[in-house]
């Protein structure tokens, strides 16, 4: 049996039944990474020795029947999650040598379950980007077609899951950075409700928007991962003290009732949008029909402020980023420029050399929008528009359980196709930004392919803390669609 083909759920069952060992499973992934990741570049750091040591410890736990569904499961982590003793770069040269002294809460949960950290994945620098081309290290390639981007900013995590380098991965989503790469790589990506998962130990990009979530092969695996990472954390003041359900009950709900009793809203502003690729449109129409056949009621809804989402987001996120990234000054950690004239020159040289062009661009936008005389016109106005966007969503969820939309206007684009045109790149986030602005959960589920054979996902959004509806509907679509092929053959380069 090819162990790398096992989903998280199946691997957990086989580990529990002692049919396979974590060491065998981990070794299978490490071998695959060794063979294929020189083509894809999905990992910044992969520590085989540490992974095998964790696998051996997990096998001991399983042997003594002291294990959880995650014991011995190899996972990849986006390289902005702090890992004690393991380099955490955020895809940036400014943190090239940074080794955290503590674990992020989600990492702590993984370690407590005796999961295996197989490596840290590539990303757009500080999570700023939609293609993983803004990594200071290398671009990651799409496993389905290596001339194309995997999406971003969690492109390394999505590519690693699609390439079957790990059982599951964690990413972070500030404006679509889990859902969009999941869609482009043909895997499942879930952005939880803001506050559902602790952000402690996540290197912040935009604190009011960032949320950690799973990237997995199946919706069932996403539900399992949510069971692992969700929950209130006293170390994070923005973490929600909400009760945490068993997320796998969303799967049971579908098995029992299909989508009967669920109302799916179709935002009319989304369908009127120019520039939606015909293949994306066809996939969307197909899923709408499918959900109806599964018992859902379809209705049209309005999100009147859709046209302003990109503008408001690309003010708010850079403003928060300019504040968050001020800490990288060359004094306390990370890179420091040498041979500088004085302290101010050291700050300037450090940031200008350590940060890449997109990060510097967003720092400049944020600093400008927060500067005296412009604050009200930009940040103040964008925050008021955000309130209107939140109200749009709250109103839509009065009558709908789910909102259905494309994930991105097009399938994955070619590497370098948009890299010199930041505004065009920003506009590709139109369908995913709203969930972050409104603090609601969203999921991307594989739903078809383009004519060129690139995966296309479908997005569903739900009301705050209603991830169960996403899991139920997403599982229903996945199960009824039964897409083939599910995973790509990776060519040698």
Partner 1 sequence: MKISEQEVENIAHLARLKMDDEQRQALCGQLSDILGYMDKLAHVDVNGVAPASGAAFMHNVLREDVPQTSPGPRVTLANAPEKDQDYYLVPRVVK
Return the residues of window 348-387 that contact partner 1 according to CB under 8 A. 348-349, 351-352, 355, 360-361, 363-365, 367-368, 371, 377-378, 380-387
Question: Cβ 289 to partner 1, closest distance in Å?
Answer: 33
Question: Cβ 133 to partner 1, closest distance in Å?
Answer: 16
Of the pair 205, 347, the CB lying nearest partner 1 is at: 347
The residue annotated as part of the active site, out of 130, 131, 153, 444, is: 153
Residues 205-244 within binding reach of partner 1 (CB under 8 A): 207-209, 234-241
3 binds partner 1 (CB under 8 A): no
191 binds partner 1 (CB under 8 A): no
Query: Cβ contacts of residue 456 below 8 Å, gap of 6+?
Result: 183, 279, 280, 283, 406, 407, 411, 446, 447, 448, 449, 450
The two structure tokens encoding residue 312: 């408001």
87 binds partner 1 (CB under 8 A): no
Distances (CA, A) of 137 to 197, 243, 270, 391: 28, 40, 35, 40
Q: Is the dihedral of CA 425, 427, 430, 434 positive or negative?
A: positive
Distances (CA, A) of 455 to 111, 143, 276, 407, 486: 32, 10, 15, 11, 9
What is the distance between the alpha carbons of residues 119 and 373, in angstroms, rounded to a whole number? Answer: 45
Query: Cβ contacts of residue 380 below 8 Å, gap of 6+?
Result: none
Query: Cβ contacts of residue 388 below 8 Å, gap of 6+?
Result: 305, 308
DSSP per position, 383-439: HHHHHHHHHHHHHHHHH-SEEEEESSSSSPPBTTSSTT-HHHHHHTTHHHHHHHHTT
Residues 130-189 within binding reach of partner 1 (CB under 8 A): none
Residues 270-329 within binding reach of partner 1 (CB under 8 A): 305, 307-308, 310-312, 314-315, 322, 326, 329
Q: Is the dihedral of CA 305, 306, 309, 310 positive or negative?
A: negative
Prior bond of 320 cis (ω within 30°): no
How many degrees, rounded to 5, is the angle at CA 352 between CA 351 and CA 354?
Answer: 60
The two structure tokens encoding residue 477: 């679509």
106 binds partner 1 (CB under 8 A): no
22 is annotated as an active-site residue: no
Question: Cβ 345 to partner 1, closest distance in Å?
Answer: 8
331 binds partner 1 (CB under 8 A): yes
335 binds partner 1 (CB under 8 A): yes
Of the candidates 306, 321, 359, 90, which has an alpha carbon nearest to the alpha carbon of residue 208?
Answer: 321
The residue annotated as part of the active site, out of 131, 177, 204, 322, is: 177
Determine which residue in the list 192, 195, 441, 442 makes contact with partner 1, applying CB under 8 A.
195
Question: Cβ 140 to partner 1, closest distance in Å?
Answer: 24
Helix (H, G, I), strand (E, B) or coil at 111: helix
196 binds partner 1 (CB under 8 A): no
- What is the per-residue binding string for partner 1 in 424-443, x denoting contact by CB under 8 A? --x-----------xx----
202 binds partner 1 (CB under 8 A): no
98 binds partner 1 (CB under 8 A): yes
Determine which residue in the list 43, 347, 397, 475 makes contact with partner 1, applying CB under 8 A.
347
19 is annotated as an active-site residue: no
Query: Cβ contacts of residue 299 below 8 Å, gap of 6+?
Result: 263, 264, 265, 266, 399, 400
* CB of 480 closer than 8 Å to CB of 448: no
322 is annotated as an active-site residue: no
Of the pair 245, 380, the CB lying nearest partner 1 is at: 380
The residue annotated as part of the active site, out of 78, 109, 120, 191, is: 78
The two structure tokens encoding residue 113: 């379950």
Of the pair 99, 451, the CB lying nearest partner 1 is at: 99
Interface segment toward partner 1; rule CB under 8 A; list 169-177, 219-227, 294-302, 343-351? 343-351
What is the distance between the alpha carbons of residues 376 and 217, in angstroms, rounded to a whole number? Answer: 44
Question: Cβ 78 to partner 1, closest distance in Å?
Answer: 20
State the pairing for strand pair 74-78/402-406.
unpaired
The two structure tokens encoding residue 458: 């479908």
Question: Cβ 95 to partner 1, closest distance in Å?
Answer: 9
Question: Cβ 332 to partner 1, closest distance in Å?
Answer: 6
Q: Which residues pair with 119 in a beta bridge?
A: 76
Question: Cβ 308 to partner 1, closest distance in Å?
Answer: 6
Residues 388-407 within binding reach of partner 1 (CB under 8 A): 388, 390
Size of the site for partner 1 (CB under 8 A): 74
The residues assigned a catalytic role are 78, 153, 177
């Amino acid at each position: 049996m090819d162990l790398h083909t096992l989903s998280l759920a199946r691997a957990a069952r086989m580990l529990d039944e002692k049919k396979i060992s974590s060491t065998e499973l981990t070794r299978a992934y490490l071998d695959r990474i060794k063979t294929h990741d020189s083509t894809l570049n999905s990992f910044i750091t992969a520590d085989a020795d540490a992974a095998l040591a964790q696998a051996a410890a997990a096998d001991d736990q399983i042997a003594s029947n002291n294990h959880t569904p995650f014991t011995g499961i190899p996972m990849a982590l986006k390289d902005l999650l702090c890992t004690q003793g393991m380099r955490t770069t955020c895809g940036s040269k400014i943190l090239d040598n940074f080794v955290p002294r503590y674990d992020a809460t989600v990492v702590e949960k993984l370690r407590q379950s005796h999961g295996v950290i197989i490596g840290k994945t590539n990303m757009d620098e500080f999570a700023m980007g939609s293609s993983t081309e803004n990594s200071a290290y290398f671009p990651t390639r799409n496993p389905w077609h290596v001339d194309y981007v995997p999406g971003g900013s969690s492109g390394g995590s999505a590519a690693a899951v699609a390439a079957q380098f790990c059982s599951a991965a964690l990413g972070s989503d500030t404006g679509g950075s889990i859902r969009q790469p999941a869609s482009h790589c043909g895997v499942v990506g879930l952005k939880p409700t803001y506050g559902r998962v602790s952000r402690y130990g996540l290197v912040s990009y935009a604190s009011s928007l960032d949320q950690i979530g799973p990237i997995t092969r199946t919706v069932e695996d996403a539900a399992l991962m949510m069971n692992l990472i969700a929950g209130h954390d006293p170390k994070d003041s923005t973490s929600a003290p909400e009760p945490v359900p068993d997320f796998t009950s969303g799967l049971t709900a579908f098995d029992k009732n299909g989508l009967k009793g669920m109302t799916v809203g179709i935002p009319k502003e989304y369908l009127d949008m120019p520039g939606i690729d015909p293949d994306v449109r066809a996939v969307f129409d197909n899923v709408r029909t499918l959900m109806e056949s599964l018992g859902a009621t379809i209705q049209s809804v309005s999100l009147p402020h859709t046209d302003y989402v990109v503008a408001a987001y690309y003010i708010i996120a850079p403003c928060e980023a300019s504040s968050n990234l001020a800490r990288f000054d060359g004094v306390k950690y990370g890179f420091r420029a040498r041979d500088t004239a004085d302290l101010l020159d050291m700050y300037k040289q450090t940031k200008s050399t350590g940060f890449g062009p997109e990060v510097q661009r967003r720092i400049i936008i944020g600093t400008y929008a927060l500067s005296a005389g412009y604050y009200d016109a930009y940040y103040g106005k964008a925050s008021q528009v955000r309130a209107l966007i939140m109200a749009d969503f709250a109103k839509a969820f009065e009558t709908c359980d789910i909102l259905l939309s494309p994930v991105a206007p097009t399938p994955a684009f070619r590497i370098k196709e948009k890299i010199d045109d930041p505004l065009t790149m920003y506009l590709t986030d139109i369908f995913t930004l709203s969930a972050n602005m409104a603090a609601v959960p969203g999921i991307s589920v594989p739903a078809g392919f383009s004519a060129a054979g690139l995966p296309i996902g479908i997005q569903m959004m739900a009301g705050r803390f209603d991830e169960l509806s996403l899991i139920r509907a997403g599982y229903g679509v996945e199960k009824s669609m039964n897409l083939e092929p599910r995973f790509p053959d990776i060519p040698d380069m």
